A and B are shown apart, each in its own frame.
Chain A
Amino acid sequence: MSSNSARSNILNKLKEQVSGADYTKLPNEVGYQYPTLSHQQHVAKFVGHLETNHAQVIKLKDSDIARVVVEQLKQRNISTIMTGKDTEASKLLTEIESDIAIEVYDFDLAADEPEHKENKERLFNDTPAGITSSCGAIAATGSIVLWPTINEPRSLSLVPPVHFVIVDADTMVQDFASLMKAQQWHDKLPTNALLISGPSKTADIQQTLAYGAHGPKELIVLLVNA
């Protein structure tokens, strides 16, 4: 294949130019020192940024999650929600008495067999809302960190038009850099790691902001321990 000779041609051309480069004498890269804020200030920033970006943030207790989700769904006339398999949300929602149907994401989306095509149709057309967990929060940008798993696939936070996400304020850090350090991202990264900072949006038509471009139209953040 041409790409083998392309590989050596490209690399050789580049190496020829920097073969004698001394990497020990690189200038010091000084980062900006952001002021240290209190946890309360972090939470306020986090909520403020998310709300500016049209997300809805609800502070609550763990024990209220299911009730609030049901309420929010009813307000939107939504009667089903999809959860991951054996997740905190799925447990909480199945424990509560309500007329909301709880569906579990326990099917294969990607493979080519016909029944999997139906799975795609189901997720795209018959799933008005989804709920996921999160594994971190960033105050400086109002970002929620998701590491989708086998039990909580990545499309659950993407395809349903309403995305509920449970965020634990105790996982909040100042900025992205400190998050990666604290959670040691250098050593292990999942198939897909995500920062989500609001509902899907676009300003591609005449700089007019519109929400719900391709992903969720609404992002509802359930903030516990705040």
Chain B
Amino acid sequence: MTSHINEPNESKYAKSARAFRGNVTRDLANDELRSNFRGAMDYLVDKRKNSFPSADELETLREQCKLIKQRCLLKLPHLLEQLETNLEANGIKVHWAETITEANEIIAQLITDKNGKTVVKGKSMVSEETALNDHLEAQNIECLESDMGEYIVQLAGQHPSHIIMPAIHQNKKQVADLFADNIDGFEHTTDVDALIGEGRRVLREKFCHADVGITGVNFAVAETGTLCLVENEGNGRMCTTVPNLHIAITGIEKVVEFLDDVPPLLSLLTRSATGQIISTYFNMISSPRKNGEKDGPEEVHLVLLDNGRSQAFADEELRQTLQCIRCGACMNHCPVYTRIGGHAYGTVYPGPIGKIVSPHMLGLEATNNLPTASSMCGACGEVCPVKIPIPKLLQRLRVESVKATTGKPEVMKGEGSGRKTIEAIIWKGWSLLHKHSILYNTSMWFATRLRKLMPNNIGVWTSVRTAPKLAPQTLHEKIKARQKLNTKKGDS
């Protein structure tokens, strides 16, 4: 095993991702968790299917949106500059951060500059990526998640187990217990309307008084300098409308070139995510409060985060990772995610997309296990609305993980960290055998004759399976024998 040195600024998620195997064992043994995920995934798979009645429409949209995202990525540096120019012209200030620490520091500074003490947050996976709440709370800034799922997860001291439905791992009984333990005066009930009503009561009070609203961004439109947010609850609108300061944070890959790029992407996003033809709210913000307007924040800021995205960008194949519009369809359809759940991955982004995006954020050393945790069934690639070839990228990351040091420039941080000498030697031997027929035939002759010596107990493999046994003769020998027989018959 390669040893690792913890970097001072390393994400806390690197540590939990390293614990992947242990996490899986833990969560597979949790029947309640497994039934929560199974129920939720079946529900979401069904909803998505019903929202695409026409296969022709779905395929046309997928191809179109793939091309839109690929065009926007090809022009990415220019679009980011154009976005910045247009946002600033509209009065929205743009900040750039290479690392999660930089992003957190920029945001903390913006808040303390305004003497902000309380923050309400709309759902933002990028802020989960930077562990922003931890950073702000260390500076005595109260940071409250306001998406119902995120609020539940925050109360429980957890992080989201799904990028669209953060509290999907909890059932209503668990949520009721959580509320009873944490909210004064809450009368225990498992009635979902009552539970949501309670969350609404607590959070509206916070919206009314918060100094700052922090949200993510679904699409940032370069052409007009517009930030688009997709949501159902109205908490995103609250965060971007009521407090005096709005800070949005997003990854650099979320920029699109034209306003016209938005409708097809939006249509695929909501349908792929939750099977809705559109979300309740589509919120487009193009400037802070203008003169005379009676509400809206006086200041709007956008923080653009790299955190490994430029690394993925530098390789044409891996760049496709950045096409992602964060719908979560890949995890909903993933047989592995459905069984182990979202927390086992240990990363912010779980499931298939998490397996291909996290290695760029956390390094392959911390995430070596993730690309291997796939049955390669291909469901993720088939449902991806922007046609990211996820299975192919998983294979590529497996190669990156075990490749030998070559002296060539590094493709990704932590490449080769999963390489094991014994494994490398075995594959070298395998390759040698298959290249030289004499060597191959001889070893096979011996292997088949000595098959009785093969152990019956080969570790994890035989814990749930019988051990594989070689046949008494190789296929080559049998075919040769048959050909001989046939020739004899032909002669007689």
- If A53-B280, A204-B165 touch, whether A214 touches B294 (CB-CB below 8 Å) is no
**Cα distance, A141 to B271, chains bound together (Å):** 11
Residues in chain B near residue A142, CB distance under 8 A: 277-278
B299 nearest CB across to chain A (Å): 10
Q: Are A213 and B241 in contact (CB under 8 A)?
A: no
Q: Are A110 and B67 in contact (CB under 8 A)?
A: no
The reply on A194 being an interface residue by CB < 8 A is yes
Select the stretch in A1-9, A64-72, A73-81, A87-95 that faces chain B: A1-9
- B165's partner among A15, A105, A191, A203 (CB-CB below 8 A) is A203
A167 nearest CB across to chain B (Å): 16
A153 nearest CB across to chain B (Å): 4
Interface residues of A in 189-206 (CB under 8 A from B): 189-206
**Cα distance, A2 to B244, chains bound together (Å):** 25
Residues in chain A near residue B143, CB distance under 8 A: none
The reply on A154 being an interface residue by CB < 8 A is yes
- B238's partner among A16, A210, A214 (CB-CB below 8 A) is A214
The reply on B433 being an interface residue by CB < 8 A is no
The reply on A114 being an interface residue by CB < 8 A is no
**Residue of B171, B278, B310 ringed by the most chain A CB atoms within 10 A:** B278
Q: Are A208 and B237 in contact (CB under 8 A)?
A: no
- If A18-B76, A203-B274 touch, whether A3 touches B196 (CB-CB below 8 Å) is no
**Cα distance, A208 to B304, chains bound together (Å):** 35
Residues in chain A near residue B40, CB distance under 8 A: 206-207
Q: Are A124 and B208 in contact (CB under 8 A)?
A: yes
Q: Are A158 and B238 in contact (CB under 8 A)?
A: yes
The reply on A155 being an interface residue by CB < 8 A is yes
The reply on B147 being an interface residue by CB < 8 A is yes
Q: Are B208 and A200 in contact (CB under 8 A)?
A: no
Residues in chain A near residue B142, CB distance under 8 A: none
The reply on A49 being an interface residue by CB < 8 A is yes
Q: Are A108 and B294 in contact (CB under 8 A)?
A: yes
Q: Are A10 and B263 in contact (CB under 8 A)?
A: no
The reply on B293 being an interface residue by CB < 8 A is yes
Interface residues on A, range: 35 or more
B114 nearest CB across to chain A (Å): 9
Q: Which residue of B lies closest to A14 (CB)?
A: B77
What are the interface flags for B258-302 relative to A under an 8 Å C-beta threshold, 1 for contact and 0 otherwise? 111011101100000010011111111111111011111110000
The reply on A175 being an interface residue by CB < 8 A is yes
- If A177-B263, A214-B146 touch, whether A200 touches B289 (CB-CB below 8 Å) is no
The reply on A150 being an interface residue by CB < 8 A is yes
The reply on B193 being an interface residue by CB < 8 A is yes
Residues in chain A near residue B262, CB distance under 8 A: 176
**Cα distance, A215 to B231, chains bound together (Å):** 11
Residues in chain A near residue B197, CB distance under 8 A: 210, 212
Q: Are B237 and A18 in contact (CB under 8 A)?
A: no
Q: Are A3 and B95 in contact (CB under 8 A)?
A: yes
What are the interface flags for A90-132 relative to B under an 8 Å C-beta threshold, 1 for contact and 0 otherwise? 0000000000000001111111100001001100110000000
A-B contact count (CB 8 A): 265
Select the stretch in B23-31, B58-66, B387-395, B446-454 that faces chain A: B58-66
The reply on A182 being an interface residue by CB < 8 A is no
The reply on B68 being an interface residue by CB < 8 A is yes
What are the interface flags for B228-260 relative to A under an 8 Å C-beta threshold, 1 for contact and 0 otherwise? 000011110110111010000000100000111
A185 nearest CB across to chain B (Å): 6
Interface residues of B in 92-125 (CB under 8 A from A): 95-98, 102, 105-106
- A3's partner among B102, B165, B240 (CB-CB below 8 A) is B102
- If A18-B76, A176-B266, A214-B207 touch, whether A191 touches B293 (CB-CB below 8 Å) is yes
- If A30-B60, A108-B294, A155-B242 touch, whether A11 touches B80 (CB-CB below 8 Å) is yes
Residues in chain B near residue A206, CB distance under 8 A: 36, 39-40, 170-172, 175, 192
The reply on B209 being an interface residue by CB < 8 A is yes
Residues in chain B near residue A120, CB distance under 8 A: 208-209, 242
The reply on B223 being an interface residue by CB < 8 A is yes
Q: Are B200 and A213 in contact (CB under 8 A)?
A: yes
Q: Are B71 and A29 in contact (CB under 8 A)?
A: yes
Residues in chain B near residue A29, CB distance under 8 A: 64, 67-68, 71
- B148's partner among A194, A195, A204 (CB-CB below 8 A) is A204
Q: Which residue of A lies closest to B60 (CB)?
A: A32
B393 nearest CB across to chain A (Å): 17
- A154's partner among B76, B102, B226, B296 (CB-CB below 8 A) is B296
25 contacts between A and B (CB under 8 A): A2-B106, A3-B95, A10-B96, A10-B252, A29-B67, A31-B64, A32-B64, A106-B294, A108-B295, A110-B297, A110-B298, A117-B209, A120-B242, A150-B293, A186-B224, A190-B286, A192-B241, A192-B284, A193-B284, A200-B233, A205-B167, A210-B195, A210-B197, A213-B235, A214-B234
